[in-house]
Structures are given as C-alpha cells and as structure tokens.
Chains A and B, each alone.
Chain A
Amino acid sequence: MTSVTLPPVAWHAIEAFIVLNVLLGLVAYVTLLERKFAARMQSRIGPYYVGRPHGWLQPIADALKLMMKEDIVPTTSDRAVYNLAPIVFLVPCLLIFATIPFAPALGVADLNIGVLFFLAVSSLEIVGLFMGGWGSNNKYALLSAMRAVNQIISYDLPFIFAALVPVVLAGSMQMSAIVTAQHGLWFVAYPVIGQLAFVAFLVATLAAENRVPFDILEAESELVAGFRVEYSGMKFALIQLAEYAHMLGTSFLGALLFLGGWLGPGPAALGPFWLLLKAMVIFLLVTWVRWSFVRIRVDQILAISWKLLMPATLLLLLATGLVVATRGAGGG
C-alpha cells in the first residue's frame, strides 16, 4: 500500500471519517435497540413491518422520513440562533468520540488528557441546547432551556467527580492507560469504591443525557417537547442524533472507565467487540431505568445533585485519593 506517502494529517482525517460514519450507523441502530427493548418491557412488539424480520430497516426509514419533511422556521424566531443551534448541539456530541479508543491504538486520537477532553467537550452541548430554547422564541422551549442550564450545571460536577475515580485509580487521564490499568481487576470490581463510583456515574449519566427520570428538558407532558418543540425535519433529526450520540459516547466512556474497555477473553482482535458489548450493557441499563421510572421535578433534581450526589462523589474521590496514596499509584 501507499500508506507511507500519506501525511499523518490525512491519516487522521481518514480515521475520523470512518469513525464518524460507523458512529452514525451505530446511533441509528441504537435507537432500534432501545425501541425493541422498551417494547419488550411494555409487552409490545416494537418496530416490525419496515424490514422483516423485526423492523431492521426502521432507523433508515425514520431518517428518510425526517429528511423529506418540510423545514419550518417560526416567523418569530431568532433565525440565526435557531438555525445554528442544532449544529452547535451536534458537534460536541460527535467530537467526544475523537478520544475514544475502540481497541489498543484504534481510535482517532488517544490523547494523554483523553478523559478531561471528553468531559469538557461533552458539557459544551448545553450551549447549543440553550440556543435552541432561546432562538425558538417559544415559552415551552424557554422554560426547557432554563431547566437545561440548571440541570447540566448541577450534574456536570458529580459526573466529573465520578469519572475521575478511575482516573485516580489508574493514575492517568489517557483512556488506553486506564484500560491497561484494569488488567486483572476491572474498576467496577474494585472493593467498595468501584461500585459506588459506578453507581454515581450511572446516575450522573442519566442526568447528563437528560434521560428519565431526569428528562425535565423535554418533559413532553409538561413542556410538550421542551427546547426542540419548534424544530422539524432535518434539524429535529440532528438534535435527536446528537442526543443519541451523546448517550452512546457516555456509554463507551463508562465501559472504558469501569468495565475494562476492550479487555475480555479471546484474541485481541475481539477487543472492539467486547467494548461495544460493554457499552451496550450500560446503554441498556440506562434504557431500563428510562422505561420504568417516572420523571422527577426540577427542584427535586437539583436537591439530589447538590445535597446528595455532589458531596458523595467528592468524598468518594477523596477516599480514592487516600487509598491510592497509601497503596502507591499504579492500578489494580
């Protein structure tokens, strides 16, 4: 092959292109997975007719339908902000995949500050979300955007603290180093600290992804559809895509930080498969919660975060630091 002659930048571009496309396909089929899973929980069948067996073409049909829909821009909206919002919302959600290694040295960029990059970029989505809520010039959307700011600010800190526990245990912010440190003992199995951190991570994940019981932003029974109430067609599709990409990204992060990433039995080539499987386990856990809980109120959500989750994760992080300091860093 002529790989030697290509400059490294081009290689990165090609890698990013492949990851992006695989990701988009994955996001589409994750929605099918969720719908089938939810249907089983509710004693339904779920998508069935579009593509036998079991509606495997449904995500494609959904995407096509949304693409062909009329794009409506409300006359009273702030056009520029309204049109830009879905893109601003989507970009950080796709960007977080840049640092995720799918196997040793298989990823766009295995940064030495991978976890930090992920956390920083993933909380940027709030900007697009608020732009959408504000630009729509709709009261439901505005209320939703206000809720979003409240919630994301409250839950980013516990999310970061919970995600930092494996970082401290592994002594590195590089994703691949964290996975390597889990040889022998996945961090979720680390006595006490691991389980607590994993639970805190899952709860914070639910909130960061705006999923039930923390989905007060879209709260369709109160705010109709929240910040995206005015969006239709492809813009709506972009917002949906961003949400699911974010969810998928966080599931991958959980699998890498707590469930040993690509580690698993069999040859090393099976690594990406194990990682995907573990990410899907986390995704289904989140889905399971989503389809069995009722939504809680905005003040209760804030109370949970500031009164319970925040001090708990902070203490947990301190405890982890103490454990590592007494034991000497370097992973289990």
Chain B
Amino acid sequence: MAATQTQQVVEVGYGGNERLMMNMGPQHPSSHGVFRMILTLEGETVVAVDAVIGYLHRCHEKLGESLTYVQYPSIASKTDYVAAMTAELAYVAAVEKIAKIDVPRRAQYLRVIVAELQRIASHCLWLGTWCLDMGGALGGGATVFLYCIREREMVLDRFEELTGARLLYGFHQTGGTRYDMPAGWDKKVRETVDFIEKRLDEYEAMLEDNTFFRVRTQGVGVISREVAEAVGVSGPLIRGSGVAYDVRRAEPYSSYGDFDFVVPVETAGDCYARYRVRMVEFRQSIRIVRQALDGLPEGPISSRPAVKSVAQVRVPKGEGYTRIEGARGEIGCYIVSDGGPKPYRLKWRGASFSNLAVLPHIVPGHKVADVVAIMGSVDPVFGEVDR
C-alpha cells in the first residue's frame, strides 16, 4: 500500500523490449473531453501512464468568488455539465448551511426528484459512451450509444418542461427551488421512468449475455478495496470495490432519509463490477423518483421570497462544507463567507477529479484497448476535473 500512496507513476517491467511513448489525448476519440494520457508502451502493453489534466480549466472557483450567491448556482452547473442538477445542489446546500436557511419539504422532494432524474440521464450517457469506447463509432458500441442517448433525451425533455433548459438548469436557489413542477409533469415523469426501466432490461440482455462484452470488462481495471480507499475514489467506483459508501445513506441530505433504496455493492472492483453498480443505481434512482412523487408534500417551494436583485441573498460570516452524492461520486462544496453578497472563498471537490487519480494505479499492465475501457468505466467529466 505504501508504494501506491506516494502517487508515483507505477512501472511494470516486461523485460527490456523497446518502448514507445504514445500520446492519448488531449484530442482523442475516447478522451471524454480534453484529457491527455502519455502512455509508455511495450508492444501493446502499457507499462506506465502519465495523466495530464488542466486543458479545460476555467477558473471556476475564482468565478464563484466574483459572482453573488444568486448568480452562481446556474454557473455551478457548468462544473459537471453532464449532471448539472447535482452541482447546483451542492452549492446552494452549502450556502443554506452557513446561513442556516431552512428548505421547505416540497422543495426538498423536488430536489431529490431532479437529482435522481439527473443520475439516470448521466448514467445513460455513461453507458452509451463507454460502449462507444469499447465498440467504436462504426460498430456495436454506436448502437448502444444511440439507444442510450434516446433515453437520456426523454429525461432532458422533462427538465426542459420544468426549467426551460436542457443542459444547464439554474433550478436550485438558496432556500428552495426556482420553479415548481408544471401541471401534469409528475405523470410524464412516471411514464418516462417506466419506459427507461423497460429499456434497462434490454441493455442488460444486450450486454450481459454477450461474451465479448464480458471478456472486455471482467477482470479489467481492478481497483482493490485498499487502493480505492487510499486514493479516495467515491461513487460507483468505491461501491464497485466492495465499500458500501453512499453520501445519501451515510449523511442524508434533502430528506433522503425518507426514501427506501438500496446502496449497490460489488466486490470484484473491475469494470464489470462498476457497470453492475451503475445498472442497479439506475433502478434505485427510478425507485426514489417514484417514492418522491408519491409522497410529494404540498406547500411552498422556497423559504425565501423570489429573487429580485443579484445581491439579495446575504450570508453571515462563517464557513460551511456540504457533500452530496452526484452521479459520479461525492461532490463537495466548501464556502467561506465574510458576510458579503459573494463568497470569500469557494472550493469544489469534484468527484471525477478524485476518481481520475486512480488511473496510474490500475492502468499499467493492461493493453491499449483496456485503457479506453477503464477510462470509460471511471466516467470522468472534465468540466468537473479541471473546473
């Protein structure tokens, strides 16, 4: 364990063959954004990997310090743009924590509904792009990709009906949510999740009964429990390595304690285990959405009056850290307030950033083709890594 904690590039010796340095990224069909891996190859085998990040750095935290508490939530969604709802939620939850603002129950339930729908949409995209990595744009992977995009589109349609936006929402605001659901929206959401639940069976039949899919994922990119805990991965990665850790369960926020759901755990730690974890999460999210719609209380959607000016929310001096379970793992938001309309300091803990740190521990020793399979199973979003 000590060796991996020093965060060195791990080298695996393969007996003095000629080595080839190959750049994968920053622009590469399967880099999921802009990410550069400098691979050292011996034939097809990767002996060392050097991961370079920062190509998508946008000074997000500094931006947060120069925008008011009213303005920033819709910008916060741009950290993890594939799961925008959850990043916003982390920010407003931190503000509410410092200012000790209560959130009405209806708003809490609405937050849960959109967060879980977002998880479904994000996992759809993950499954599609991951299969695209393994199958290629001119092959079976593209078929799964297009199927998944079709389902994700349905969730985005629901978001569009709710907020008017399809990718970056600005749905959450300090003290509650900005919008209440339109008439008939709950029925549409139920239909959507029913439909997606049926499609999930199809995907499982298509992938798990396929030997080629299994040989590409089983035993590939094994993250041992020790490495997972030492590196600090979270979300489906740590649950795929045998740790039953989920912020929704460990530290319930936004009345997650009201809902009945299972935290899936797989012990193998390989790509297939992470796939299984996410497939169960799909179904658990659907369960939570249904429960939240069933028990949705009446009442106000915000404990604060509607926003009239950008400096309306003032937060007393203090600091607060909140963590929530995003689609990729634990998203943390740390805010230091000096009593003004803007945070004095803002710090994000991106789930993808911490998850990506595991790559040098698991990639060496695999073939080039496995590198993309592992990358896909880690499911990073570079907006969140580089911020």
Enumerate chain A interface residues (CB-CB to B < 8 A): 38, 41-44, 139-140, 143, 146-147, 212-213, 215-216, 218-224, 290-300
Residue from B29, B30, B146 in contact with A44 in the complex, judged by beta carbons closer than 8 Å: B146
With A42-B143, A294-B140: A299-B44 Cβ-Cβ less than 8 Å: yes
Residues in A whose Cβ lies below 8 Å from that of B117 = none
Residue from A44, A212, A224 in contact with B138 in the complex, judged by beta carbons closer than 8 Å: A212
Of B2-10, B210-218, B230-238, the one touching chain A: B210-218
Residues in B whose Cβ lies below 8 Å from that of A143 = 20, 22, 41, 44, 368
Of B66-74, B84-92, B258-266, B369-377, the one touching chain A: B369-377
Residues in B whose Cβ lies below 8 Å from that of A223 = 368
Are B369 and A222 within 8 A (Cβ)?
A: yes
Residue from B20, B41, B147, B371 in contact with A42 in the complex, judged by beta carbons closer than 8 Å: B147
Once bound together, how far apart are the Cα atoms of A296 and B30, in whole Å? 16
Q: How far is the CB of B259 from chain A (nearest CB, A)?
A: 33
Residue from A215, A291, A295 in contact with B143 in the complex, judged by beta carbons closer than 8 Å: A291
With A294-B131, A295-B134: A222-B139 Cβ-Cβ less than 8 Å: no
Measured CB to CB, the nearest residue on chain A to B30 is: A221
Enumerate chain B interface residues (CB-CB to A < 8 A): 20, 22, 28-30, 41, 43-44, 131-143, 146-147, 150, 206, 210, 212-213, 215-216, 367-372
With A139-B20, A220-B138, A221-B134: A298-B29 Cβ-Cβ less than 8 Å: no
Q: How far is the CB of B23 from chain A (nearest CB, A)?
A: 8
Q: How far is the CB of A262 from chain B (nearest CB, A)?
A: 32
Measured CB to CB, the nearest residue on chain A to B144 is: A294
Are A293 and B212 within 8 A (Cβ)?
A: yes
Are B370 and A221 within 8 A (Cβ)?
A: no
Are A221 and B137 within 8 A (Cβ)?
A: yes
Once bound together, how far apart are the Cα atoms of A300 and B134, in whole Å? 14
17 CB < 8 A contacts A-B: A38-B143, A42-B142, A42-B147, A139-B22, A143-B22, A146-B44, A147-B44, A212-B139, A221-B136, A222-B369, A222-B372, A291-B139, A293-B210, A294-B216, A295-B136, A295-B216, A298-B44
Measured CB to CB, the nearest residue on chain A to B206 is: A292
Once bound together, how far apart are the Cα atoms of A150 and B109, in whole Å? 57
Once bound together, how far apart are the Cα atoms of A213 and B138, in whole Å? 11
Once bound together, how far apart are the Cα atoms of A152 and B380, in whole Å? 36
Are B150 and A297 within 8 A (Cβ)?
A: no
Residues in B whose Cβ lies below 8 Å from that of A296 = 212, 215-216
Among A139, A295, A299, residue most surrounded by chain B Cβ atoms (within 10 Å): A295
Among A222, A223, A298, residue most surrounded by chain B Cβ atoms (within 10 Å): A222
- In the complex, besides A215-B139, A294-B210, 17 extra interface pairs with C-beta distance below 8 angstroms are A43-B147, A43-B150, A212-B136, A218-B136, A221-B136, A221-B141, A222-B30, A223-B368, A291-B140, A293-B212, A294-B139, A294-B140, A294-B141, A295-B140, A296-B215, A298-B44, A298-B369
